[in-house]
């Protein structure tokens, strides 16, 4: 077996400590666009705790993606310039509290070596736990390192993605992003200049900064929340999506959704450019 494969597979980081407050919860919700209408009580429940009529603050399920920002299995020594996000799959074991001290246990799940000049896909998971050691969420991320394949890993095939129904969507919704949305979302943890620095974005091959893929991921969660979940964050059991193209802040994201029992399938596009930005999306409600 390849030494490089064994090195990556062995990466593990247990007991990473993090803490967050209601401020972080509200910032994330605002960062994915909730609260754009200051009179929408459904959305205000995620960004405002209520004063004259107190109410519990709700936590967007995909806040789990930033609750332990920076956690991971360890240094992978990849060519960072050539690394892109491939997929996120979050399983929710219970509703996230409004504020918490948590731990994150991270490990590499599998390494898919596609061969020389074809890159490698590394799937790693992070399990978030509360102070009692109970699981809150399990996050599986797949990163595609385009410049790091061909080190002799085993010939493994990635699992097939969720299949989108062939029928006409049951619902289609438009979600508008703000021109400054990436500047807000980056305050949740991801300070990659690709999303905030015009000069850096141009050097990376983009005409202007792009929206974080994980912000688009959160937007798709918001789309399911407002359609089939009736804004009930506790209904989410799983939320999966594959990234296929970036969104530019200010663009409108169009979501197509299909409902089959408790499974919601979805894809997202930017019609103005004729591109699909999210593929093979799946939410399980329960």
User: Can you say whether residue 261 is alpha, beta or left, with left for phi > 0 and alpha for psi between -120 and 50 degrees?
Assistant: left
Catalytic status, residue 190: yes
The answer to whether 262 and 236 are in contact (CB under 8 A) is no
77: left (phi over 0), alpha (psi -120 to 50) or beta: left
| Helices within the chain (DSSP H only) | 3-9, 22-31, 41-47, 64-67, 181-185, 198-203, 213-227
CA distances from 66 to 19, 32, 85, 111, 187 (A): 11, 12, 15, 24, 10
Residue 86's φ and ψ, nearest 5 degrees, are -105, -45
Q: Distance between CA 63 and CA 96 in Å, rounded? A: 8
260 is catalytic: no
Q: Which of 24, 105, 190, 256 is catalytic?
A: 190
**Which residues, 6+ apart, have CB-to-CB distance to 181 below 8 Å?**
31, 33, 211, 215, 249, 250
Number of helices (H) and strands (E) in the chain: give both, helices first: 7, 10
Q: Catalytic: which of 105, 113, 148, 195?
A: 195
Cβ atoms of residues 189 and 70 within 8 Å: yes
For residue 158, give both structure tokens: 């990635």
The residues carrying an active-site annotation are 190, 195
């Amino acid at each position: 077996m390849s030494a490089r494969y064994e090195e990556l597979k062995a990466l593990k980081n247990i007991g990473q400590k993090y803490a967050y407050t209601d401020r972080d919860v509200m910032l994330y919700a605002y960062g994915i666009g909730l609260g754009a209408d200051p009179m929408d009580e459904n959305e205000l429940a995620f960004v405002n705790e209520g004063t004259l009529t107190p109410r519990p603050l709700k936590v967007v399920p995909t806040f789990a993606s930033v609750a332990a920002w920076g956690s991971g299995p360890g240094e992978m020594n990849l060519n960072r310039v050539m690394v892109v996000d491939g997929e996120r799959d979050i399983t929710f074991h219970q509703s996230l509290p409004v504020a918490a001290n948590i731990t994150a246990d991270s490990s590499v799940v599998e390494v898919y070596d596609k061969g020389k000049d074809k890159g490698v896909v590394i799937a790693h998971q992070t399990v978030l736990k509360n102070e009692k050691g109970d699981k809150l969420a399990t996050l599986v991320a797949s990163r595609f390192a385009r410049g790091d394949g061909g080190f002799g890993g085993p010939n493994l095939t990635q699992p097939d993605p969720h299949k989108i129904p062939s029928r006409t969507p049951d619902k289609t919704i438009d979600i508008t992003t703000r021109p400054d949305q990436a500047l807000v979302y980056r305050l949740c943890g991801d300070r990659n200049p690709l999303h905030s620095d015009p000069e850096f974005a141009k050097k990376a091959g983009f005409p202007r900064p792009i929206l974080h893929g994980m912000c688009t991921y959160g937007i798709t969660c918001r789309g399911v929340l407002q359609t089939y979940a009736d804004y009930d964050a506790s209904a989410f059991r799983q939320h999966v999506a594959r990234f296929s193209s970036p969104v530019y802040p200010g663009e409108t994201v169009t979501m197509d959704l299909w409902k089959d029992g408790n499974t919601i399938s979805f894809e997202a596009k930017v019609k103005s450019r004729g591109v699909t930005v999210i593929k093979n999306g799946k939410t399980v409600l329960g």
